[in-house]
Structure 1
Amino acid sequence: MQRILVVGVTGAGKSTLARSVGARLGVPYHEMDALYFAGPGWAVNGRLAEDVGGIADGPRWIIDSLGYPEVRDLLWERADTVLWLDYPRRVVMPRVLRRSLRRTVTREALFGGNRETWRGWLSREHPVWWSWAQHGPRRREVARRTRDPRFGPLTVHRFGRPADTAAWLDGL
């Protein structure tokens, strides 16, 4: 495991797992949302493809994302391992709800200095709504990509329950 993608729906725990695996293996961790959002107003990084390309060219990395469309194929072509958090909605939704509620209440600074707001909860792009809407489509896309010969050979670890992920991580 040298080039690792941690994938799953919003709120599954990708960043947490990626940080843990990166620390245990000594693999540099890169947070995709921090690369994607460049500044206030959720501005998008105009150099995303170059920035991610530089990371993907490296010998060792771990990234917590399926990948934004601009860089998705690049990451999948360069990855050697996929850690797939394939949790059901009943697991993911309480997690993303708690996280977004905490971020909103505490005004936690996020990527590019942005913050989740009460008004943001009304947007279809809010993490809670996004996680709900993207659960099925994201699952189908990851399944398709893990079978796609363009992205091989890949070692895929698919975790259906947090306990499975924790047991795998303990054995790492």
Structure 2
Amino acid sequence: MNKIFIVGIVASGKTTFAKQLSKELHIPWHELDAIVHHQTSEGRMKRTAEEQIQVIKEIDRKGCWIFEGTDRDSYQCLYHMADTIIFVDPPLGIRKWRILSRFMKQNLGMEPCHYKPDLIMLQMMFKWTQDFERNRPSFEAKLRMYEDKVIRIRDVKKKDQTASRHLR
């Protein structure tokens, strides 16, 4: 197991889990948001879908990896490339609470972020969550195409045990 794609919607816990798994398995972790929006001398720039795919393929050529992010068109190659796909899917209420909690922590300077944590971003996070739930059936259908390599984690408190059991 060398190539792991951790996918989930905003505030699902995928970044925290990816960091833990990376440390445990000694596999480099890559945040897909950092591939979409990269830092340049002019500031934060958005790569095109083609550029994103190129960066993903460059990382893939190096061997082992953990990628984590949401489901985007430019990430479809990861479903094919991954040995394991982990869908982090806690209940909607937990995700909504995490969005609010994160917003407050970011505005109090307790949690760093790569974007401006304003009311517009807060609204966007709730919109993305709503959109995901509305489009869940099509996402679930996509996951069924890869069911032999998908691990679903619903219970946030048990996710470490669940994934570790499957990944060893």
Smaller-chain TM-score bracket: 0.7 to 0.9
Match of 1:96 among 96, 99, 102: 99
Give me the whole-angstrom Cα distance separating, in 2, the residues matched to 1:157 and 1:170.
Answer: 11
Would the aligned equivalents of 1:6 and 1:84 in 2 still touch at CA under 8 Å?
yes
| One-letter amino acid of the counterpart of residue 145, structure 1 | K
State the match for 2:133 in structure 1. 135
SS of the residue aligned with 2:131? helix
CA contact (8 A) 2:90 2:156 kept: yes
Alignment of 1:67-86 (within 5 A): 67-70=71-74, 72-86=75-89
Q: Does 1:43 align with 2:45?
A: yes
1:162 pairs with 2:156: yes
The letter for the 2-side match of 1:147 is R
Tell me, yes or no, if structure 1 residue 115 matches structure 2 residue 113. Answer: no
Structure 2 letter corresponding to 1:36? V
Partner of 1:32: 32
1:57 and 2:61 aligned: yes
Matches of 1:99 and 1:31, distance apart in 2: 18
In the TM superposition, residue 129 of structure 1 has moved relative to its aligned partner by: 2.9
Q: Does structure 1 conserve the Cα–Cα contact (< 8 Å) formed by 2:11 and 2:98?
A: yes
Q: Distance in 2 between matches of 1:90 and 1:133?
A: 15
- Number of aligned positions between the proteins: 162
CA 1:153/1:58 → structure 2, altered by over 3 Å: closer, same or farther? farther
- State the alpha-carbon separation in 1 of the partners of residues 109 and 47 from structure 2: 26
Name the SS for the 1:62 alignment partner: strand
Say if 1:105 and 1:132 are closer, same or farther in 2 by CA, change over 3 A. farther
TM-score by length of 2: 0.81
Task: Give the distance between the partners of 2:110 and 2:37, measured in 1 at CA.
Answer: 17
**Uncovered stretches (5+) of structure 2, i.e. residues with no partner:** none
- Which of 135, 142, 146 is equivalent to 1:145? 142
**Matching residue's letter, 1:129:** K
Given the superposition, is the C-alpha separation of residues 128 and 42 from structure 1 closer, same or farther in structure 2, using an over 3 Å criterion? farther
Q: CA deviation at 1:94?
A: 0.5
1:131 corresponds to which letter in structure 2? T
* Cα separation, partners in 2 of 1:98 and 1:42, compared to 1, 3 Å: farther
Maintained 8 Å contact 1:103/1:116: yes
Q: What TM-score does the superposition give when structure 1 sets the normalisation length?
A: 0.79
